[in-house]
Amino acid sequence: MSQTATISSAGPDEKPKSDSRVEPRGPRPKPFFTPRKIVIYSILIFACLYFLFPLYVMLTTSLKTMPEIRWGNIFAPPIEPTGEAWVKAWTSACTGLTCQGLNPGFWNSVKITVPSTIVSIFIAAVNGYALVNWRFKGSEIFFTILIFGSFIPYQVMLYPLVMITRELGIFGSLWAVILVHSIFGMPILTLLFRNYFAALPVELFKAARVDGAGFWRIFFEIMLPMSLPIFVVAIILQVTGIWNDFLFGVVFAGTQNYPMTVQLNNIVNSAQGSPEYNVNMAATILTGLVPLIIYFVSGRLFVRGIAAGAVKG
Amino acid sequence: MADLAVQQARKGGAAGGLSRFLHNTFIRNLSAKIAAAPMMATVLVVFIGCTIWTIWYSLTDSRLLPNGEFVGFEQYQRLFSTSRWNVSVVNLLIYGAFSLVFTLGIGFLLAVLMDQKIRFESAFRTIMLYPFALSFIVTGLVWQWIMNPSLGLQGTIRNMGWESFTFDWLTNPRMVLFALLIAGLWQGVGFVMILMLAGLRGIDDEIWKAARVDGIPTWRTYMSIVLPMMRGVFVTAVVLVGSGIVRLYDLVVALTDGGPGISSEVPAKYVYNYMFGAGNIAQGLAASTMMLLTVMIIIIPWAYLEFGGRGRRT
Amino acid sequence: MKKFAVVAAMATAFLGSTAINAAELEVTHWWTSAGEAAAVAEFARVFEEQTGHTWVDSALSGSGTGANPVIISRIIGGDPMGATQMNTGRDAEELIQAGLMRDLTDIAEELNIHDFYVDESLLEPCTYEGRIYCFPINIHSWDWLWLSTAAYEQIGQPVPTDWNEYVESWPALEEAGILPFGLASGWPIAGIPGALQSGIGGSDLVLAINRDKDAEAVRSPEFRAYAEAWDAIRQVVSPDTMVPAFADVGNQLLTGEAAGNIHGDWLQGDLQVAGGVPGEDYECIPALGLNDQLSGGGDAFYFPVLPEGTDPEVIEAQTELAKVLVSPEAQLAFNLKKGSMPIRTDIDLSQANACMQKALGLLGNGLLPSGDFALSSDTQQQLQDLNIEFLDDDSITIDDYIERYASIIESAD
């Protein structure tokens, strides 16, 4: 049935258009189920099943009671779902003598994560920018050493960093942990930014230089706006890594600033006694919610062609 | 590079070589140098310093605290004659090769699919990324359950009737590394995917249109045009996955604890066990030095190729 | 469970008087599971009631490997805690030698510590150049054979009374489809060889290896007998039959799925939680029924040297805590909840359950130094690696095993 036929068979109430017939506009609408789309969605859905499978086990386990877990099948859905484990994980699970669940450490984790993320990403972005657009003698050597640094296992760096922060007088405070996270994040983040900036069109930068703009001005007015996707990636990386970090938080931040991961670790990692699997699962998901929310929200910034737009405009 | 030329042209035939040298070293690009100062300080003090510290103390007999006596290569002799270490190294090479190939491959494939203007992108993206957000102590346990021969998939499917279904990779010394791979990919692919997606997003729509106008088939566009443009992202991804492989510890402890036997031991676990659990820092540092040496052997030639040659921008 | 609030030390400064001297003392430990936490809560309760100071709890799970890096980092970094748990044994040797731990000799003498300690040897690792730097506060032993009454009912045999009878019953068990030996993967494997050595090899063997580091003892016939027993276990376990956690083995014993297991005395706690009754649902046989001594180690508390300028009240709190930890009241309360043996000889333990009573009887014969007590952590780790390899790899013969074991002991310090 062609479009014209449809329109000409319209009922008597249809107002006659000024043209005797209206031509369809735009590209021909494609049917939804093209082979291409089927393939794409199938693969994506299949991948999602793989990713979601353990989450299913975790969720169902967290909604069961311990006897059911002990004697039942791990894949079976809960007979009578109960949110007890969740409440317990947040408010009353025991982590040593204190039985307040995860929530004492929540704000400490925030206190550690927010500044560390901001500082580490800022430094790395500036480094990447400097390395690409303002190359100076020796900068490449330094960059290579930085990459090498990203492979050093963190256990090896622990004692030297303890001694360094001790000499700086900041050991046992938030500053120490921010410093340590920035140092650790620097290699990968600098690489991230450097490679991204290197792929941006040179013309923009040159045009700005010709206009007389300096280092910082170009950075804030041109480079930053063009690199939203990579900032999102960097934020995801850092927030996840720092939020879930245990060792540095507990060693460097000082007792009053113990992050939530300490409580999480104490809940799930107890050597003796029967583990309360449902509480462990609930606690893990609760801890992971913050990075998850960031992932979801940051999606809006993950858009295409900002760089392209800038070149054209 | 044009930048340099412009500046030098301005200088023209300025004063003596000395003042130009001083200017070049200190004044030119001053802002850049100030901005990059944190990085330089970090690099020098922390990474190089730590590396030297590591190598130095690996030549001592330090136990719990780093202040032992110099003993030469004794720690290394012990290291090389320890079967657990040798097995760890081989395991890491095997795991590393597969992990690199699969993570990059699957990550890229998924990124390409996500870039196809599909609906529900946020949902797909979050689903693939969430494993990255969860602490591995518990997710490792869940995978342990799933792959456990009696409690997990094998047991359940057998109970449903398929008696001969086997999936005992977790307890099979020859296949346990692949069990690790399953859990490792699950955790890591999501991030590589969004990294590649960010790279793909940076590619101008014009290029796609031009390629289509020229009649180049899609796959060819990817291979010959897009991939080279994403070179930077790929290098980043390789370093990211690579450093994750070298540092592999939490995953192994949570999933297999090195077992069955020592068939899934990895170097980072050896370092950790001996440095902290066994109170033998020197041995742990010797193992670390070996790991770092290997990394250096790979990085130095790469750096030379990347920077030493023509110093091109990308 | 009581919340332990953080009391500002500022109050002390403001008040100035010596009437209420409430200092807060940060204590680190790795007793995070429900049962363990209940036990350490007893220490905290007694401490706070008797001294008026505040116990600031800093729990760090993961036992040695997890907590050690943190504890050592804090001490090196100059922000030490007030008191910390560490395993009795050689772990803290270097910290003592480096002068980072507080000298407790005066307190020890004030309390006449040598009068009431169960066994002098416990204090040895705490002693350096004649001064005492830590107090062991409990004794744990791995040397226990746990047997399932349900399993033996199934095959119609009486529950064995010692290791040899147990091994003889294996063929019958296997025929009935029951696991002769239940095993959890991971660290539970580490303690079994020591228990076997002590039970089968005998006290002299244990002393020769653990205390004297005599490599020739490893090549002796007694050691070979032990190695053969270890090999026998190897034959009946496989990765397929291993379970993730030792509490699961406890369940296996109660249901009769597995007939027996060797594990430390703390398994009792889990068996109790799961509702098992000693004598009815399970049997506990110390020293495998073959020896008259138990080998043991335990936990000890250390008190880091606090930095200059620390409030003297806090240092006073350290002293008081040290005294409380070894006091009869605290020892009784703590050990009953924990299921370990107290270090004092003069407490009334009639409330202890049947298994612990048996242990106390043996303790009277003297305590053997266990591997984790007398050997350095490094040697222990090497032996653990060897044992795990041996258990899993059938191609390692008993002779290979003996030789490798001997060379590790030879180079042990």
| Start and end residues for every CATH 3.40.190.10 domain found in chain C | 2-139+298-344, 141-295+367-410
A277 and A148 within one domain: yes
Domain co-membership, A78 together with A111: no
- Per mean pLDDT, which range of A79-83, B1-5, B143-147 is the poorest? B1-5
Once rounded to an integer, what is the mean pLDDT over residues C114-139?
84
**Interface confidence (ipTM) of the complex:** 0.78
Q: Tell me, what's the pLDDT at A116? A: 93
Tell me whether residue A30 is in a domain: no
What per-residue confidence (pLDDT) applies to C11? 36
Q: Per the CB < 8 Å rule, is B67 touching C393?
A: no
Q: What is the pLDDT of residues C63-80, one digit of tens each?
A: 667 788 888 888 888 889
**Biggest CA-to-CA distance, chain B:** 90
Statement to judge: residues A213 and A296 lie in one domain = yes
Task: Assess whether pLDDT exceeds 90 at residue B43.
Answer: no
pLDDT digits (tens, 9 = 90+) for A211-238: 877 777 778 877 777 788 888 888 988 9
Widest pairwise Cα distance in chain A? 90
Can you read off the two tokens belonging to residue B225? 């045009």
Would you list which residues of chain C are within 8 Å, Cβ to Cβ, of chain B? 64-65, 68-69, 72, 76, 90-95, 98, 185-186, 238-240, 242, 244, 376-378, 380-382, 385, 388-389, 391-393
Q: What is the pLDDT of residue B139?
A: 81
Which of B277, B271, B252, B273 has its CA nearest to residue B137?
Answer: B252
| Alpha carbon distance C413, C396 (integer Å) | 26
> Are residue A256 and residue A125 in the same domain, yes or no?
yes
Does the structure show a pLDDT above 80 at B296? yes
B-to-C residue pairs, Cβ atoms closer than 8 angstroms: 87
Residue A139 included in any domain: yes
Cα C57–Cα C85–Cα A165 angle in degrees, nearest 5? 75
Question: The domain at C2-139+298-344 falls in which architecture?
Answer: 3-Layer(aba) Sandwich (3.40)
Domain of A71, in residue numbers: 35-82
Pairing type for strands C83-87 and C299-302 reads antiparallel
CA separation for the pair A142, A134 (Å, rounded): 14
Residue A92 belongs to some domain of the structure = no
Res C343 pLDDT > 60: yes
Tokens 């009946």 belong to residue: C236
Q: What is the tens place of the pLDDT at every residue in B232-279?
A: 788 888 988 998 898 888 888 888 888 788 888 999 989 888 888 788
Q: Would you say residue A6 lies in a domain?
A: no
So what's the pLDDT on residue B2? 47
Same domain for A139 and A70: no
Q: Write down the pLDDT at residue A273.
A: 61
The pLDDT value recorded for residue C39 is 86
Q: What is the pLDDT of residue A10?
A: 42
Does residue B184 or residue A95 have the better pLDDT? B184
Query: Is A155 in contact with B275 (Cβ distance < 8 A)?
Result: yes
pLDDT at A190 over 70: yes
Q: Any CB–CB contact under 8 A between A247 and chain B? A: no
Q: Dump pLDDT digits (tens) for A20-77.
A: 577 777 676 666 678 888 888 889 999 999 999 999 988 888 898 888 877 777 788 8
A110 shares its domain with A259: yes
- In SS3 terms, chain A reads as CCHHHHHHCCCCCCCCCCCCCCCCCCCCCCCCCCHHHHHHHHHHHHHHHHHHHHHHHHHHHHCCCHHHHHHCCCCCCCCCCCCHHHHHHHHHCCECCECCCCHHHHHHHHHHHHHHHHHHHHHHHHHHHHHHHCCCCCHHHHHHHHHHHCCCCHHHHHHHHHHHHHHHCCCCCHHHHHHHHHHHHHHHHHHHHHHHHHCCCHHHHHHHHHCCCCHHHHHHHHHHHHCHHHHHHHHHHHHHHHHCCCHHHHHHCCHHHCCHHHHHHHHHCCCCCCCCHHHHHHHHHHHHHHHHHHHHHHHHHCCCCHHHHHHHC
Residue B104, pLDDT > 90, answer yes
Statement: C141-295+367-410 belongs to CATH 3.50.50.60? no
Q: Do B262 and C65 touch (CB under 8 A)?
A: no
Q: Which residue in C286, C281, C341 sits closest to C144, CA to CA?
A: C286
Domain check: are A71 and A191 in the same one?
Answer: no
Domain match, A61 and A198 both: no
d(CA B39, nearest CA chain C) in Å: 24
Which residue from C185, C378, C381 is facing B259, i.e. has the nearest CB? C185
- List Cα–Cα distances, C373 to B177, C172, C300, in angstroms: 35, 37, 11
- Answer whether residue A287 is part of any domain: yes
Q: Which residue has the tokens 């750096």?
A: B303
**pLDDT tens-digit map of C249-265:** 888 888 888 899 998 88
C144 forms beta bridges with C286
In whole angstroms, what is the distance from residue B249 CA to residue A149 CA?
A: 17
Question: What is the average pLDDT score of chain B?
Answer: 81
Are A153 and A299 in a shared domain? yes
**CB-based contact B47 A159, cutoff 8 Å:** no
Min Cα–Cα distance to chain B from C214, Å: 20
Question: Is A129 contained in some domain?
Answer: yes
> Is C32 within 8 Å of A270 when comparing Cβ atoms?
yes
Interface of A to C at Cβ within 8 Å reads 70, 94-100, 155, 158-159, 162-163, 165-166, 171-172, 247, 250-252, 254-255, 262, 265-267, 269-275
**CB proximity list for C116: less than 8 A, separation 6 or greater:** C326, C344, C345, C346
| C346 against C53, higher pLDDT | C53
Do residue A78 and residue A200 come from a single domain? no
> Would the CA dihedral through A226, A228, A229, A230 be positive or negative?
positive
Element (H, E) at B82: none
The total number of structural domains in chain A stands at 2
CA distance C91 to chain B (A): 7
* Chain Cα centroid distance, residue C175: 36
Query: Is residue C31 pLDDT above 50, yes or no?
Result: yes
Considering only CB atoms, which chain A residues are within 8 Å of B33? 136
Same domain, A39 and A142: no
Considering the domain architecture, whether residues A204 and A110 belong to the same structural domain is answered as yes
CATH code for position A199: 1.10.3720.10
Q: For A255-259, what is the mean pLDDT?
A: 86
* Distance between CA atoms of residues C194 and C287, nearest Å: 11
Predicted pLDDT of residue B92? 93
